[in-house]
Structure 1
Amino acid sequence: MRIGAIIQARMGSTRLPEKILKELNGKCILEHIIKRVLDSGVDICIVATTTNKIDDTVQTFCDEHNFICFRGSEDNVLERYYQAAKENKLDVIVRITADDPLKDSKIIRKAIDILLDGNYDYVSNTIKPTYPEGIDVEAFTFKTLEKAYKEAKLPSEKEHVTPYIWKNREIFNTYNFENEVDLSYMRWTLDTEDDYIFIKNIYSNFVGKENFSMQEVLEYIKDNPKILEINQGHIRNEGYLKSVKEEQG
């Protein structure tokens, strides 16, 4: 059983360009995410970027740090995942986005363990969100990914990788795990400049500590509740909802 995390990453973000190379405590965001993912115990971590010239920078970064880099379609991210997983002979895939530098390695591991122990096709904490946005994790089998790749038709299903899976739960054996307390109102992802200010504030409290947990961040927020006001006013899953709206005209 070969378990691999695939991190989708590109330089051309429309809302916050080149965000994946922004600095936090002396390291870029992409490096923080890779290290957090590797701490979950996956066998391999793959940075999946595009073939666009602008993403040569991502390739160079990976080469310099001895990280694995795969390059594929910009718009059809589902195809990019499928080809990256196939090339690296993955049996289980963990989907990670490169704009979540507060990912918790224990929660990533939890998704993997539930998938394997329950013999599920797909496991996530996103179908019914109860974790902060940015702590999202999805794990699925290669067979599931391959079926989605071959059958998904809508542009939103191809751009966002997993909608075909979780929209067809009569086909796939899925499981959603929940946090004890609903924290879905919290925004810990990076799409805007105010998100970066919020995350930078968090990281500044953990200088010298590589992989602090979600619980440690929650304790910091409990003592400093006003920092949640920094990046309020954004809709959860804004990118996916925008894609669906565009499909509907």
Structure 2
Amino acid sequence: MQRVGIISQARMTSTRLPGKVLRPVAGRPLLSYHVARLQATGLPLYLAITDRPTDDPLAEYAASIGLACTRGPEDDVLARYQQCAAAHSLDVLVRVTSDCPLLDGQLIAQAVQQYVAAGNPRLYLSNVLERTFPRGFDFEVFSRELLEEAYQHATSASDREHVTPYIHQNRSGRVEFAHIRRFPDRHAYRLTVDTAEDLELMRRLLEEYQADQLPTEALIDLLDTHPELVAINAHIEQKKL
């Protein structure tokens, strides 16, 4: 039986919106929505944070809710993932980021089921290489084997910071790919939190529409029918790798 776990990376020193994941919305820190929706998968969830004192509040919050937390280098996020996977003896990893409060656990559970059924440790499955879901629903599923290979061979600072380029750019030449897509394409919608505008949209969604109770398709339908919500952060450009 393969041991599958979700690892969510987090830090308090975001350049555009510092401390974003612990900012309160509707009486709860944003991170609590992320955690609750991922725990709905039934899979173990781990938080991978930096070893800097600035992330002590994250460690304290994780401890307060019984969430397993590992700490490692700030810029070498790949090392953080490798350390977390090794500490918890994971065979298969789901990589997510903690600035996505509405990431849908059901979507991830279905993807993991597809991945495990394939029985291929050289497989990388995601919805990020061919984007059709709103930003903020991103996930990647890959094996410990591929993670260890990247950890051993990825050398550039960008590869280390962004975790998976060595894998999804197929530097080894032996990676196979599968993609999770939806139609119609809604990749232009933005449900991640990296700016004040993103936070305002998330506040509206959570306080006025109880968005944390909605699955992926209901959230997309909500945005389809409320273009004024989409407009709040439609002008925000995602930071480039």
TM-score range normalised by the length of the shorter chain = over 0.9
Deviations 1:119-151 (CA, angstroms, capped at 9, x unpaired)? 342110011111101011111111111111111
Residue-pair matches, total: 237
Name the structure 2 match of 1:115: 115
Which residue of structure 1 lines up, in the alignment, with residue 207 of structure 2?
A: 204
* Deviation of 1:205 (Å): 3.0
Looking at structure 1, the residues matched to 80 and 185 of structure 2 have their Cα atoms a distance apart, in angstroms, of: 33
Distance 1:157 1:113 in 2: 28
Instruction: Tell me the residue number matched to 2:24.
Output: 23
How far apart are the structure 2 equivalents of 1:180 and 1:223? 17
Give the aligned partner of residue 244 of structure 1: none
CA RMSD of aligned residues (A): 1.4
| C-alpha distance in 1 between matches for 2:27 and 2:179 | 35
Of 123, 126, 130, 1:124 maps to 126
Structure 1 pair 216–165 and aligned structure 2 pair: CA distance change class (3 A): same
Alpha-carbon distance, 1:35 to partner: 1.2
Cα shift at 1:210? 4.7
The normalised TM-score by structure 1 is 0.91
**After superposition, where does 1:118-157 map in structure 2 within 5 Å?**
118-120=118-120, 121-157=123-159
Letter of the aligned partner of 1:17 in structure 2? P
Partner Cα distance (1:24, 1:216) in 2: 20
Verify the 8 A CA contact 2:49 2:71 in the aligned structure 1. Answer: yes
Q: Is the 1:202–1:217 Cα contact (8 Å) retained in structure 2?
A: no
SS in 2 for 1:117: helix
Question: What is the identity, as a one-letter code, of the residue corresponding to 1:190?
Answer: V
Match in the other structure for 2:3: 2
Q: Are the counterparts in 2 of residues 9 and 97 from structure 1 also a CA contact under 8 Å?
A: yes
CA positional deviation for 1:234: 2.5
Letter in 2 for 1:105: G
CA distance in 2, matches of 1:152, 1:135: 26
**SS across alignment from 1:230:** helix
CA distance in 1: counterparts of 2:240 and 2:107, whole angstroms:
23
Distance 1:147 1:14, change over 3 A: same
Identical-residue share of aligned pairs (%): 33
Cα contact 2:132–2:181 (8 A) shared by 1: yes
1:191 and 1:210 map into 2 onto residues whose CA distance is 18
User: Contact 2:206 / 2:212 at 8 angstroms: preserved in 1?
Assistant: no
**Structure 1 alignment gaps of length 5 or more:** 241-249
1:77 maps to 77
The answer to whether 1:192 aligns with 2:180 is no
Q: Name the aligned partner's letter for residue 112 of structure 2.
A: I
